[in-house]
Amino acid sequence: MTHSVPLAEVWRGPFLESVHFGHAVVCDETGQITHAWGDPNAVVLPRSSSKMIQALPLIQSGAADAFNLTTEQLALACASHQGADIHTKRVGRWLEQLELTDDAFRCGPQTPADEPARNALIKTDQSPCQYHNNCSGKHAGFLTLAKHLGAGPEYIDLDHPVQKACLEAHEELTQETSPGFGIDGCSAPNHASTLNGMARAMARFAAAPDGSAHERLRSAMMLHPELVAGEGRACTNLMRAMGGKVAVKTGAEAFFIAIIPEKKLGVALKIMDGATRASECAIAAILVKLGVLDAEHPETMKYLNTPISNWRGARTGTLRAAPQLL
């Protein structure tokens, strides 16, 4: 077994102050590894980076077409949104389309990460609802599938038809039997795989033909980057910087994936200490290395060779990719 390797570093002046270790894998359309750092066989929980896998049954079952879901709704099914109006209003309309209310969700309420939305709740003395949850789009997809299947309301249960379909999709795409699962922040099961398995799954999305369920989901993400995350977020910023040609998606505890259709490549990475700043830096560096992200693009520079400033605005250091990654 290969140990994790440095993927991101923090320098303060001439001193290496912090190092973030992790694993990263790039796979091609045949499932072969083209690049690897650390241990490709490290077992990981992909968290929200697996949302497009969890959304596959929504299309493959016929539910998406039966309910005439739009590309915006498909993007939201893959999203970890920040609860801005552009997200919550669309999720609300989706619930109305299903003739359901916020009570049908099983993700739990969450205070919006979007500052205007959060301030609006505070000013009006309102509590957050479940549709504010960053995973409410995924859960709207689960509810749509459950309704299409005529299944019961407890769609997050492991033995529910929705979650059985998600596990089947996960194992088919990773080409692995999942060794187990954890319960995600939104209460749904999150199935483990090797990092190699996740990169292989993303390569399958990248190489999928037009009109397939995989292509419809990746295209929806690339078409609506603002719905996948939100303003100021790395997923949205990096997809815009790449001109809608690559889909990227973060997951909690410093996971990240990329789907690169033009090169038919899939990327998966995990920072072992769970630091988001490091996963954002590492995915940007890999995308630059693969030739799909401009190193000099203003959005790239927010995550790669990022200045660190003190409270007076003086530059004190830099967050940058580790030499091993470059």
The model scores a pTM over 0.85 = yes
3-state helix, strand, coil in the chain (%, to 5): 40, 20, 40
Task: Encode pLDDT of 286-305 as tens digits.
Answer: 999 999 999 999 999 999 99
Coil, strand, or helix at residue 11? Answer: strand
Domain residue limits, the chain: 43-265
**Section 257-284 average pLDDT:** 98
pLDDT for 219:
98
222 band by pLDDT with thresholds 50, 70 and 90: very high
Q: Which residues pair with 26 in a beta bridge?
A: 35, 267
DSSP H stretches of helix in 208-305 = 213-223, 225-228, 234-241, 276-289
- The Cα–Cα gap between 30 and 280 comes to 27
Beta strands, E only, the chain: 5-12, 15-27, 33-37, 43-44, 181-183, 189-191, 193-194, 247-251, 255-260, 265-271, 306-309, 315-321
**How large is the average pLDDT for residues 120-124?**
94
pLDDT of residue 2: 76
Place of tokens 């697996």: 50
Is the model's pLDDT at 223 over the cut of 70?
Answer: yes
pLDDT in tens, 160-219: 999 999 999 999 999 999 999 999 999 999 999 999 999 999 999 999 999 999 999 999
State how far the alpha carbon of 293 is from the alpha carbons of 117, 246, 277, in Å. Answer: 31, 9, 18
Mean pLDDT of 84-107: 98
* Residue 129 DSSP class: -
Give pLDDT tens digits for 104-118: 999 999 999 999 999
Confidence of residue 326 (pLDDT cuts 50, 70, 90): confident
